[in-house]
Amino acid sequence: MKNLNKITETFNVVFNDENDSNDKGFELTKKECMDYIEAYNGSNDSYFADYKGGLVSIVNNETGEPVFETEIF
């Protein structure tokens, strides 16, 4: 039997550089966010073009804590 009271954590993708910050507004799993970053980092898609040289992070929506961070190339 599944525990229906289990809280499911969701994650968002956040872009930062020395001047600005934006997020995608995602409510995805950590893996889905990682897959998104791996698929689009280095491309001109969405905020990846605007934040080249900055950082992209995966942030827990419930706690606000970053769980992954890498440079945007």
Burial of 14 (0-12, 13-18, 19+ CB in 10 A): buried
Q: Is 60 exceeded by the pLDDT of residue 9? A: yes
pLDDT of residue 8: 87
User: How far from the centroid of its chain's Cα atoms is residue 18's Cα?
Assistant: 18
**Closest C-alpha to 72, from 47, 50, 55, 49:** 55
* Tens-digit pLDDT profile for residues 15-32: 999 999 999 999 999 999
Q: Is 80 exceeded by the pLDDT of residue 59? A: yes
Please report, for the chain, the start and end positions of each structural domain, with discontinuous segments joined by +.
Answer: 11-71
